[in-house]
């Protein structure tokens, strides 16, 4: 696809979905009908990620370094014990949490957090078992290298593939040129086994000067990721600078361009890199310009909200809204912007076992919101 075709497709998707949905007291209008937004829980300090337990309770992380269980009635549990020390500065802190595919029997979960050490801080991945009021058998199974100073661009999301391996999305820590360096983990998606080992079929295994954990590179700051339920492929959403937020489908060994190519500009207004396209570098599935500052992402494969099945749902930190992207295969053909009156940054987006959509709002009094059809 040519760059001209890509730009036309992007503009068409945005313009076709220009109709907005603004929150009133409890309801708002979207396509194809009205939506109801309900506060399920509140009083969370900068919540970052949400996971659903099989009994209807929720597990939530708070960026300052707490993980809690939320009861079905919205009551917040006490912080779980035995979390490792968290570097909670700038954008760093306790980040994503996901349940192992065999959680019902194993009680195993994985979480990402920023960890300090020699040279500064970086994103780490830990594995643990959920006990009664605490995490048990906590073990750090991956550490981003090198650790660097500053509080920018930790990422980070975890996705478990169908084979049980973990994809972990890592920010470039504000060191943009190192996203192209295969000798560091900055600005990469890595792929590891559930015990932290390296899968033998990773693309750079055995390549001199390259880290064996790397799956794809040239990323800026991924803060949303999913496993596509129909194809089993990894999809990610990452922050651009001033424009250039991207949805990608990272494939083994591919280069996604940052900072050599981008559809955005620097915050100063100056261009970044060499333009919007270059041979050997991948184009995004979709991009935003201007930026919406995307965070959590979910694929809606339920039927509780009519007309949404097969959509990508992406939260916006900048505008405090939910973007619904209609797909045809791997193409985004329409965008609808919803819930523009929330007044809070949308940090995470999850589809619950009831088929409804749940959002985390990022503030000192963060909430869990439930979105459902009001028909």
Q: Which of 10, 153, 185, 219 is catalytic?
A: 153
Looking at the domain that runs over 3-373, which CATH code has it been given? 2.120.10.30
Neighbour count for residue 7 (Cβ, 10 Å): 14
Q: Which two tokens stand for residue 135?
A: 């995490």
Going by DSSP bridges, is the β-strand pair 366-373/357-362 parallel, antiparallel, or unpaired?
A: antiparallel
What phi and psi, each to the nearest 5 degrees, are found at residue 5?
Answer: -65, -40
Express as a percent the part of the chain with pLDDT over 70: 91
- Is residue 185 part of the annotated active site? The answer reads no
What pLDDT sits at residue 341? 81
pLDDT higher than threshold 60 for residue 21: no
**pTM metric for this prediction:** 0.92
Q: What is the pLDDT of residue 14?
A: 42
Q: Using one digit for the tens of pLDDT, what is the confidence trace for 101-111? A: 999 999 999 99
Look at residue 9 and tell me whether its pLDDT is greater than 60.
no
- The H-assigned helical ranges of the chain are 3-16, 103-106
Q: What is the pLDDT of residues 313-355, one digit of tens each?
A: 999 999 999 999 999 988 999 999 999 888 899 999 999 999 9
**For residue range 133-188, what is the model confidence (pLDDT) as tens digits?**
999 999 999 999 999 999 999 999 999 999 999 999 999 999 999 999 999 999 99
| Residue 6 pLDDT | 47
Q: What is the pLDDT of residue 375?
A: 72
CA dist 112 and 155 (Å) reads 9
If DSSP codes are grouped into helix, strand and coil, which group holds residue 3? helix
Q: Which of 193, 79, 192 is nearest to 135 (CA)?
A: 79
* Mean per-residue pLDDT over the chain, rounded: 92
Q: Read off the pLDDT of each residue in 24-50 and give the average, rounded to a whole number.
A: 79
Q: Do 307 and 359 form a contact (C-beta atoms < 8 A)?
A: no
Q: What is the pLDDT of residue 342?
A: 85
> What distance in Å separates the CA atoms of residue 98 and residue 290, rounded to the nearest whole number?
31
């Amino acid at each position: 696809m040519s760059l001209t075709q890509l730009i036309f497709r992007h503009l068409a998707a945005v313009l076709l979905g220009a109709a907005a949905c603004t929150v009133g007291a409890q309801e708002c209008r979207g396509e194809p009908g009205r939506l109801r937004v309900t506060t399920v829980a509140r009083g969370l300090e900068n919540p970052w990620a949400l996971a659903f337990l099989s009994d209807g309770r929720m597990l939530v992380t708070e960026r300052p370094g707490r993980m809690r269980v939320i009861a079905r009635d919205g009551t917040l549990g006490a912080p779980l014990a035995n979390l490792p020390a968290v570097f909670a500065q700038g954008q760093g802190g306790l980040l994503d949490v996901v349940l192992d595919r065999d959680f019902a029997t194993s009680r195993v979960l994985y979480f990402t957090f920023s960890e300090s050490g020699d040279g500064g801080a970086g994103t780490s991945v830990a594995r643990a078992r959920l006990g009664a009021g605490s995490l048990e058998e906590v073990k750090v199974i991956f550490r981003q290298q090198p650790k660097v100073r500053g509080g920018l661009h930790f990422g980070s999301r975890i996705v478990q593939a169908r084979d049980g391996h973990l994809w972990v999305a890592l920010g470039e820590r504000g060191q943009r040129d190192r996203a192209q360096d295969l000798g560091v983990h900055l600005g990469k998606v890595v792929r590891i086994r559930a015990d932290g080992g390296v899968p033998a079929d990773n693309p750079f295994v055995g390549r001199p000067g390259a880290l064996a954990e790397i799956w794809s590179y040239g990323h800026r700051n991924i803060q949303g990721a999913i496993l596509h339920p129909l194809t089993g492929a990894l999809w990610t959403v990452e922050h651009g600078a001033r424009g250039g937020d991207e949805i990608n489908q990272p494939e083994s060994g591919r280069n996604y361009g940052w900072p050599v190519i981008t559809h955005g500009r620097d915050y100063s207004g100056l261009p970044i890199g060499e333009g919007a396209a270059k041979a050997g570098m991948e184009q995004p599935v979709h991009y935003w310009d201007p930026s919406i500052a995307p965070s959590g992402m979910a694929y809606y494969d339920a039927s509780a909200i009519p007309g949404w099945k097969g959509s990508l749902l992406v939260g916006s930190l900048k505008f405090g809204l939910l973007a619904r992207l209609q797909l045809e295969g791997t193409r985004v053909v329409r965008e609808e912007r919803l819930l523009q009156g929330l007044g809070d940054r949308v940090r995470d987006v999850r589809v619950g076992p009831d088929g409804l959509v749940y959002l985390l709002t990022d503030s000192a009094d963060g909430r869990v919101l439930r979105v459902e059809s009001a028909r």
